[in-house]
């Protein structure tokens, strides 16, 4: 009889990114376990499959009615190099330029931003620094819906810094809830020539 640890993540009724995040949590805590994630939509099925393959698992998918069963089995040959080993791009800098993601609907963009911060906390890849300019500075204030997740990133060692001129413009300088207040010279000096992602 096998002593292999087998775990189930039942996230039926949940939309992405929750199925991937919950699967990742179980994977991180139990790197040698066989994990079966149960979802009830094709997007979540595909995203959990991609996650499993990115971690070096052998992935098998079954279906029963509307439910999909994604079985992730650790691959002993690839696990030391590719499976469950966190990536680290410590030189990456993110420049946040507004308090919503993308162009078009700002309402949609603000909903996407909530998901972005949840995913950033759970991601293996963490930036070294996140700078906030223009309306994005609203996200580091005490009444921000994003504050808890940004604080978690700060606790994990990500430098959080908001533009002082921008905070002054919005009248928010005394409401900063996480990170430091910086200036455009420091931001410019840091981002020029660096591994920059602009959002």
Domains and CATH numbers, the chain: 6-74 (3.30.110.40), 92-198 (3.40.1260.10)
pLDDT of residue 28: 85
Per residue in 87-107, pLDDT tens?
A: 454 678 899 999 999 888 989
40 Cβ neighbours under 8 A, 6+ residues apart: 12, 13, 66, 67, 68
pLDDT of residue 82: 40
The arithmetic mean of pLDDT across residues 3-21, rounded, is: 84
pTM over 0.75: no
Query: 3-class SS at 80?
Result: coil
The arithmetic mean of pLDDT across residues 174-179, rounded, is: 93
User: Which stretches within 70-160 are classed as H helix?
Assistant: 106-122, 147-155
Q: How far is CA 22 from CA 27, 114, 176, 197, in A?
A: 9, 17, 31, 26
Average pLDDT, the chain: 85
Q: Pick from 194, 195, 170: which is nearest to 162 by CA?
A: 170
**Spatial distance between the Cα atoms of 147 and 153, rounded to a whole number of angstroms:** 10
The arithmetic mean of pLDDT across residues 163-181, rounded, is: 93
Tally Cβ neighbours within 10 Å of residue 66.
10
pLDDT of residue 185: 77
């Amino acid at each position: 009889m096998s002593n292999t640890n087998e775990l189930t993540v039942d996230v039926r009724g949940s939309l992405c990114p929750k199925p991937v995040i919950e699967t990742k949590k179980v994977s991180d805590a139990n790197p040698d376990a066989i994990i079966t994630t149960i979802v009830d939509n094709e997007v979540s099925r595909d995203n959990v499959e991609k996650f499993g393959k990115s971690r070096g698992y052998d992935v098998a998918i079954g279906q029963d009615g509307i439910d999909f069963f994604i079985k992730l089995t650790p691959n002993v040959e690839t696990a030391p190099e590719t499976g469950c080993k966190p990536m680290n791009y410590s030189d990456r800098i993110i420049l946040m330029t507004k308090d919503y993601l993308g162009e078009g609907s700002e309402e949609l963009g603000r909903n996407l931003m909530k998901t972005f911060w949840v995913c950033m906390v759970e991601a293996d890849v963490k930036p070294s620094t996140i700078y906030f300019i223009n309306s994005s500075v609203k996200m580091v204030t005490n009444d921000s819906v994003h504050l808890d997740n940004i604080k978690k990133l700060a606790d994990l060692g990500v430098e959080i810094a908001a533009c002082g001129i921008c905070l002054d413009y919005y009248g928010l300088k005394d409401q900063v809830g996480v990170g430091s207040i910086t200036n455009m010279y420091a931001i410019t000096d840091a981002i020029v020539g660096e591994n920059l992602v602009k959002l």
